[in-house]
Every structure is written in structure tokens, then in C-alpha cells.
């Protein structure tokens, strides 16, 4: 029975990852072992479950049906075992999560460290990246996302919100003047961020609600928010960033917020997970912890931090 359950776990990993090699990485098995298990399962059932190509594995009709039934069976089995284990065992295993680089470093990593101190048999893998990671394909349990959640396959729980703000040092503004309208930006030095080779557009809103999209000219382009903010602190010019990234600098007076009357609406910050993924006890514990800990961060509300 255990061997058969193991086969189904391998099959579901292939179905979720869409790749034998990715499934092997998730399961910490060799590619040959994963391929052999799938082949033996198909041979025993007498059907092809997965159409293999050089890039992706696609489930056949029989494979899709088996995936539905296998997920239900394994879910019931895990519930049965978990109900017993919860009473007699401390949570154990590994949780994988992802978060944006700066937010993850400043807030998620410290919260995760506190969580692990409470549960010594748990471990965690935190990947920080300023790109959208496919949680299901890449085998992540949880993710922190900044911005609207457009993926219908994800469940999202709101943590708070952040704004997009334009800031500069007091010294720069004393020398160059403070812009009063977006049209004044042409007369200013701009520190511009680039992401994946693309220059960030500055989206602003007029007091009457009219939306403005600008691509300010810049002599200093950089693909790091930290570097852009440090340049602004050094008097290099104006920079547009997320509010949490400069909350301390604003509170301490290192940077000054400008064009506040033209800022766009706040964007949500959410904890997300794949809708189709069964929550284990350890993942539920961490999600509840992060919702509580991150949800009360001043930087995710309109409350300014203290210097």
C-alpha cells in the first residue's frame, strides 16, 4: 500500500510540475527513478498517463482522471494520518516560500526566524526574488506578493497595502527645487529603476482622477531598489519606490516625499498559495503566523514608523 501511495505522489508531482526533472527536484529523487516509477505505473494500468515532450509533460485524459482521484485519495490519507499525528507529534518537515527581495529580507526573513524558533523540528527555504514565481510549478507552499493577484489558481489573504512614492534628499531639493506637478519632472535628475531590462514607468494620478504615465529621462539607471534609494539619499535625484522601502528614511528625514497629491492608489500586499495544493499542518501553522505577524506591520498600514 505504501509503495502504491508513493507512486501516486510521484505521479502528482509530475502533473503539478509539468516536467519529470522538476518533479525529481521537488521529490529529491533522481530523474531516472521518477521516470521509472511513472513507466511502471503506466504499464500496470495499461494506459499512457503523460505525453512527454522535450519541454513539458502534459497529462492525457486518463492522466487527468487519475490525478483527480489520486489527489482525493492522498488528501484523505494525509487527513487521517495528520489527525493522529497532530495529537502525538510536533510538526516537522520543510516549508518552501518566496517573497520580494527587499520586503522578504526586511520583514519575512525575521518573522520566519521567529517561527522556526518555536518549532525546532521544522525547516524552511525562503527564496527572495523581484519576479513572479510560479508557486505550483516551482514547488512553493506560500508566497508574499505585492500588487493585484491576477492568477485565479491562487488563494490570496490580504496583509495590508503599500504605496508608490517619489522621494529625494533634502539637499537635492534645496539645490534643485521641489517639483509641484508631474510636468516639473523634466527639470530634475531622476534615478530610474529597471526590471528585467525594462525601464519602470511612472504612473501618477491628477487630482481630478486623470491617470498619467511617464517615462522620465534619466542618466542613472539601476536594477536594484537599494542602490536607487542610496543614490537618492546621496543627492543624485528623485526616485520612485514602494513606500515600505523608504519608510525609515522618511521617518528620519533622510528623504522627503514629493508630488504626494499625484500618487496612485495603494497596492495590496498578500499571502498566497496554490488553490489546488493541500495544506499540511506545518504550512497552515506558518500561514497563520505570517498573517498575524506581517499583518500588523506599520509599513503595511498608513501608520508611519518611528525613527
Per-residue pLDDT tens over the stretch 16-40: 888 888 888 888 889 899 889 988 8
Which CATH number does the domain housing residue 57 bear? Answer: 1.10.10.10
d(CA 49, CA 261): 58
262 has a pLDDT exceeding 90:
yes
Evaluate whether residue 146 is within a structural domain. yes
CATH number at residue 98: 3.40.190.10
Same domain for 70 and 194: no
Segment 56-85 mean pLDDT:
76
Distance CA 203, CA 126 (A): 31
Element (H, E) at 278: none
Note the pLDDT of residue 304. Answer: 55
pTM, two decimal places: 0.70
pLDDT band at 106 (very low <50, low <70, confident <90, very high): very high
Residues 249 and 278 in one domain: no
**Is 30 domain-assigned?**
yes
Residue 45 lies in a domain: yes
| CATH number (domain holding residue 230) | 3.40.190.290
Please indicate, yes or no, whether residues 183 and 247 belong to a single structural domain of this protein.
yes
pLDDT of 86 higher than 60? no
Write the pLDDT tens digit of every residue in 107-139: 999 999 999 999 998 999 999 988 888 888 788
16 lies in a domain?
Answer: yes
Q: Could you give the dihedral angle defined by the CA atoms of residues 74, 80, 81 and 84, in that order, rounded to the nearest 10 degrees?
A: 170
Q: What is the pLDDT of residue 270?
A: 96
**Are residues 148 and 18 located together in one domain of the fold?**
no
Spatial distance between the Cα atoms of 137 and 156, rounded to a whole number of angstroms: 17
Number of domains composing the chain: 3
For residue 87, is pLDDT > 50?
no
12 shares a domain with 64: yes
For range 164-170, the mean pLDDT = 96
Q: How confident is the model at residue 294, as a pLDDT?
A: 95
pLDDT band at 70 (very low <50, low <70, confident <90, very high): confident
Domain boundary pick from 50, 84, 118? 84
Domain that holds residue 126: 93-161+267-300
DSSP labels for 160-227? EEE-EEEEEEHHHHHHH---SSGGGGGGS-EEEEEETTEEPPEEEE-TTS-EEEE----SEEES-HHH
Please tell me the predicted confidence (pLDDT) of residue 54.
Answer: 56
Same domain as 157, residue 173: no
Per the CB < 8 A criterion, the answer to whether 93 and 119 are in contact is no
Q: Is residue 124 part of a domain?
A: yes
Judgement on whether residues 30 and 65 belong to the same structural domain of the protein: yes
Q: Tell me whether residue 306 is in a domain.
A: no
Residue 70 lies inside a defined structural domain of this protein: yes
Amino acid at each position: 500500500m505504501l509503495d502504491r501511495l508513493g507512486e501516486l505522489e510521484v505521479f502528482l508531482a509530475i502533473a503539478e510540475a509539468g516536467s519529470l526533472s522538476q518533479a525529481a527536484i521537488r521529490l529529491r529523487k533522481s530523474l531516472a527513478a521518477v521516470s521509472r516509477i511513472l513507466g511502471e505505473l503506466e504499464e500496470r494500468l495499461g494506459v499512457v498517463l503523460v505525453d512527454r515532450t522535450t519541454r513539458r509533460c502534459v497529462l492525457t485524459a486518463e492522466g487527468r482522471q487519475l490525478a483527480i482521484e489520486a489527489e482525493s485519495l492522498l488528501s484523505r490519507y494525509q487527513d487521517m494520518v495528520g489527525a493522529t499525528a497532530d495529537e502525538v507529534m510536533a510538526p516537522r518537515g520543510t516549508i518552501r516560500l518566496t517573497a520580494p527581495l527587499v520586503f522578504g529580507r526586511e520583514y519575512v526573513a525575521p518573522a520566519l526566524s521567529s517561527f522556526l524558533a518555536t518549532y525546532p523540528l521544522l525547516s524552511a527555504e525562503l527564496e527572495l526574488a523581484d519576479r513572479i514565481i510560479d508557486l505550483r510549478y516551482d514547488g512553493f507552499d506560500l508566497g508574499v506578493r505585492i500588487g493585484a493577484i491576477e492568477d485565479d489558481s491562487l488563494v490570496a489573504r490580504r496583509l495590508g497595502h503599500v504605496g508608490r512614492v517619489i522621494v529625494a534628499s533634502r539637499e537635492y531639493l534645496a539645490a534643485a527645487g521641489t517639483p509641484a506637478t508631474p510636468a516639473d519632472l523634466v527639470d530634475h535628475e531622476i534615478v530610474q529603476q529597471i526590471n528585467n531590462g525594462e525601464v519602470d514607468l511612472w504612473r501618477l494620478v491628477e487630482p481630478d482622477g486623470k491617470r498619467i504615465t511617464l517615462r522620465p529621462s534619466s542618466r542613472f539607471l539601476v536594477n536594484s531598489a537599494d542602490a536607487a534609494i542610496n543614490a537618492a539619499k546621496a543627492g543624485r535625484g528623485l526616485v520612485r519606490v514602494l513606500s515600505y522601502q523608504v519608510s525609515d528614511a522618511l521617518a528620519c528625514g533622510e528623504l522627503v516625499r514629493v508630488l504626494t497629491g499625484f500618487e496612485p492608489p495603494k497596492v495590496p500586499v498578500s499571502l498566497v498559495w496554490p488553490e489546488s495544493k493541500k495544506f499540511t499542518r506545518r504550512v497552515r501553522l506558518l500561514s497563520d503566523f505570517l498573517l498575524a505577524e506581517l499583518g500588523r506591520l506599520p509599513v503595511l498600514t498608513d501608520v508611519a514608523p518611528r525613527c
